[in-house]
Structure 1
Amino acid sequence: MADVPAGRLVDLRARVAEAGFARACAAAGLDLDPEGTPDLVVEHEALFPRLAVSGWLGLAESFMAGEWRSERLVDVLEALISTGYRPQLGGRPLPPRPYGGGELPTELVRLSSGDGLSAFGGVFASGVPTTVRTAVPNHGRGPATHFVDLTTFSAPAAVDREDLGDAQTRAVTMLLDAARVTAGTHLLEYATSGGAVAIQAAHRRATVDTLTADPAQARAVGEQLLLAGVEPSVHVSVIDTPVPGPREWRGSYDAIVSVEKLEMLSEGNRVRYIRALDRLLTIGGYATMQSVTATDALSPVARQALGVLRAYVWPGLDYPTAEDVHRLADRESGLRVIAQTHVGSHHEQSLAMQRSLFEGHTREAAAAGFDIAYRRLWIYQFALREALFRLGMLDTVQFTLTHRNRQGRR
């Protein structure tokens, strides 16, 4: 990011990119006039060679470098994506790369979390659920369709930043309820979500194993468990692979919970992941997972815009559709999705609050060692994901799975 593209050909392409950027902003209704109240301000012309060479990734890197700024960042990104802005002719989305098991730094999560533990989206109390039993296609053997309890939450109303912690706690409560976690339940959490799931489950008097491939995350979660007074009920284990195979982890669990992990895995690791759930879940048990999913509206331009998240935050990021999750379970395991709950509007609100919290803690972030480029990256990624939720291109779904038959696939 420190090296601005240069050269004679780049200079020519940069002039074309500058003109294209001006046209896109005009088409999107964005004001660039510095004499008025501009929607965005270009501080340095280095933006344009970055656009010419790297497209949407260049736009994000230029923001990280401080070469342009906006007080309405979400609105700007939403407008550019909705109008189909393609800064790099012939550009392709940055492909996902293998996920190695690393997690977000716990200090970074704390500065943008309502409960101090969670990086995931919440569910606010003002949302009203509506459930319909719906027939969905069966992608495996057997009948052509099966039934799913499909629940949709209405958009939250009259919420503010102080509600975020409660919303994130409610999201965990819903997952534990769907997995039937009560006193005596043997629960597996993969991967650890910073302690939120394990602490709530321990308060229900469940016995919890939580797995991570990140030793630093394991230490941080151990500290949170100690502070919460639940350390005796929770065992934190470090594994050597992003997805535990039979050699890395064995056991039989009444319930399994996973929060926003599937979308971080490559296609091959998703197969290993669902097979691990199948293998580790006891017959009659329930697995629940919260995942951010792509909708049919997710455009090629939006996929290009997501390249910055793969380049700097989550290398394996690739949002599946809800149907992809059904297909994965039906074809690669003995599990079946029996319920799914859609809370995308709540995740959108969560992201807005997480961004606001982080912007209010930029000094603390600097003191924790996150430099100004990284702080801008963190603000940008919140804004980008919020814009995609606004556009209806992303959704958040809680899936409940159980074995299709008493034998399962062991």
Structure 2
Amino acid sequence: MRHPHLAAIDATTWPGVARIPDGRLVDLRARLAEAGFARACSAAGLDLDPAGTPDLVVENEALFPRLAVSGWLGLAESFMAGEWRSERLVDVLAALIATGYRPRTRLPAPAAYDGGELPAELVALSAGDGLSAFGGVFASGVPTTVRTAVPNHAPGRGPDTYFIDLQTFTEPVGVDREDLGDAQTRSVTMLLDAARVTAGTHLLEFATSGGAVAIQAAHRRATVDTLTADPAQARAVGEQLLLAGVEPSVHVSVIDSPVPGPRDWRGSYDAIVSVEKLEVLEPADRVRQLRAFDRLLSVGGHVAMQTVTATDAMTPAARQALDVLRAYVWPGLEYPSVEEIHKLVDKESGLRIVGQAHVGSHHELSLELQRTQFEGHMREAAAAGFDIAFRRLWVYQFALREALFRLGMLDTVQFTLTHRNRQGRR
């Protein structure tokens, strides 16, 4: 039986949202899930009393069988179904994660990442520059750089430690929504500077960031190859390049796999840039990506890679909360720690990290501005074909990631890499 409140949900597109779990065993587990949710809200200091000013309002008890069967994914799908709501969504998610709320669940493994990218029409509804889905760096952040020794995770390849330039930024202040575009542009500028991109540089971007990196690099008179496994993304980027007047300097190519192997792409590049791609790749593809950078980077060249990382504060509850992103947005998503990235680079490639800039507080604010901008464009999103379930999902994913940054469980790092020795590794 189709429930009335789910009438607007397309069962073909959203089978997990359109169907409420049922059955005698589910009913029993739902009662336990309801009690567990109430305890978690109480421990988190969340008010559920509709007579007052509640932090969240449960509109339909279908929330509880979803929690019983799918845990945090069920919580998100219930939000997508309109079964609960909150005017303080980021606060609610942060409070539940902080209190360690972790309903028991067993979910099937998500599908493998196939290289698909976010639709350009969707990104434009929340991007400050109309192109970028990634975090920015605001002008009010003050950088500090120190030389820091880090362990060498590749035994037999050099000394036990080596030095990197470790850069941190103060939190942004006095920022409003109009500053988002400038912040995202500054993030690209930092990456291009780290990769030493100037006039005449031959630059590879993987995967394409929607045009932002390629356009700014072309304005520096670099020659750019930008790769994607998503044909729709390639067409969208081509249109942006044409509008920006840089099409002759940028070549957009579609490859057949999420990561360019030797048969997919060959060449030698002075610089390589990658923006928030490593964290959405499955472990085996992360190795392939680092080896591809190693293979394609010319001697003396540099890689600049912006990646969202997990901090030591990351908890099992937080990782479980990310189930919805793996189910509906980025199938391979798993935020690596900075140490894991260092080990990956040292052990699986001939590259070495030489610079590391931490900008997590700026990414947190970027997400807040992207979320509020998207919420202000709900009608435009509907007109663009994004249905009610998708619109709620998109608000939820912004709020969830913002909550994790607020809790200090996520950080954003720009890594600079170069070959470990002058000969490189061909």
**TM-score range normalised by the length of the shorter chain:** over 0.9
Q: Where does residue 371 of structure 1 map in the other structure?
A: 387
Q: Where does residue 172 of structure 1 map in the other structure?
A: 188
Deviation sequence 1:347-401 (CA, Å, 0-9, x none): 0000000000000000000000000000000000000000000000000000000
Is residue 262 from structure 1 mapped to residue 278 from structure 2 by the alignment?
yes
Q: Where does residue 125 of structure 1 map in the other structure?
A: 139
Is residue 143 from structure 1 mapped to residue 159 from structure 2 by the alignment?
yes
TM-score by length of 2: 0.95
Q: Could you list the runs of 5+ residues in structure 2 that have no partner in the other structure?
A: 1-16
The 1-side partners of 2:317 and 2:62 are apart by 22
Amino acid at match of 1:131: T
Q: Could you list the runs of 5+ residues in structure 1 that have no partner in the other structure?
A: none
Q: Where does residue 210 of structure 1 map in the other structure?
A: 226
Is residue 100 from structure 1 mapped to residue 128 from structure 2 by the alignment?
no
User: Greater CA deviation, 79-88 or 300-309?
Assistant: 79-88
Is residue 116 from structure 1 mapped to residue 130 from structure 2 by the alignment?
yes
Local SS of the residue matching 2:300: strand
Amino acid at match of 1:329: V
Q: How do residues 11-410 of structure 1 correspond to structure 2 at under 5 angstroms?
A: 11-88=27-104, 91=105, 95=109, 97-140=111-154, 141-410=157-426
The 2-side partners of 1:97 and 1:389 are apart by 26
Q: Is the 8 A contact 2:70 2:107 kept in 1?
A: no
Deviation sequence 1:76-127 (CA, Å, 0-9, x none): 0000000011222xx3677554210000010000001000000000000000
**Per the alignment, do residues 162 and 275 of structure 1 end up closer, same or farther by CA in structure 2, a change over 3 Å counting?**
same
Question: How far is the alpha carbon of 1:275 from its aligned partner?
Answer: 0.4
The 1-side partners of 2:285 and 2:253 are apart by 20
Question: How far is the alpha carbon of 1:186 from its aligned partner?
Answer: 0.4
Q: Is the 8 A contact 1:94 1:310 kept in 2?
A: no
Question: How far is the alpha carbon of 1:325 from its aligned partner?
Answer: 1.1
Amino acid at match of 2:277: K
TM-score by length of 1: 0.98
Question: How far is the alpha carbon of 1:206 from its aligned partner?
Answer: 0.3
- Residue identity over aligned pairs, in percent, reads 82
Question: How far is the alpha carbon of 1:327 from its aligned partner?
Answer: 0.8
The 1-side partners of 2:103 and 2:421 are apart by 51
**Per the alignment, do residues 396 and 216 of structure 1 end up closer, same or farther by CA in structure 2, a change over 3 Å counting?**
same
The 2-side partners of 1:405 and 1:13 are apart by 59
**Per the alignment, do residues 93 and 151 of structure 1 end up closer, same or farther by CA in structure 2, a change over 3 Å counting?**
farther
Q: Is the 8 A contact 1:94 1:307 kept in 2?
A: no
The 2-side partners of 1:96 and 1:301 are apart by 18
